[in-house]
Amino acid sequence: MADTTTIQLSVKVRDLLDNVKKEIGAKSYAAAILWMVKKAKVLETSEAGMFPKLRSFKREKHDRFD
């Protein structure tokens, strides 16, 4: 069995986690938390090409304070 630990949550956070767990059909809190972490770390859509009329960025000669 994998190592486990205990964390303390407020009742409000536990209820929110229960809702997420039910919505995604997770069998455990760990699965729900892992799903949320993966969801938060993945870029949903690419923003490349979102503004085709925007001119290319060009640095100025003195654009840094090095």
pLDDT digits (tens, 9 = 90+) for 21-37: 999 999 999 999 999 99
Quick: pLDDT tens for 37-53.
988 877 666 666 777 77
What residues contact 17, with CB distance under 8 A and at least 6 apart? Answer: 9, 29, 32, 33
Using CA atoms, how far residue 33 sits from 8, 11, 13, 47, 54, in Å, is 14, 16, 12, 27, 39
Is pTM, for the whole model, over 0.75?
no
Structure tokens at 42: 């993945």
Cα separations in angstroms, 45 against 24, 37, 40, 57: 21, 17, 13, 22
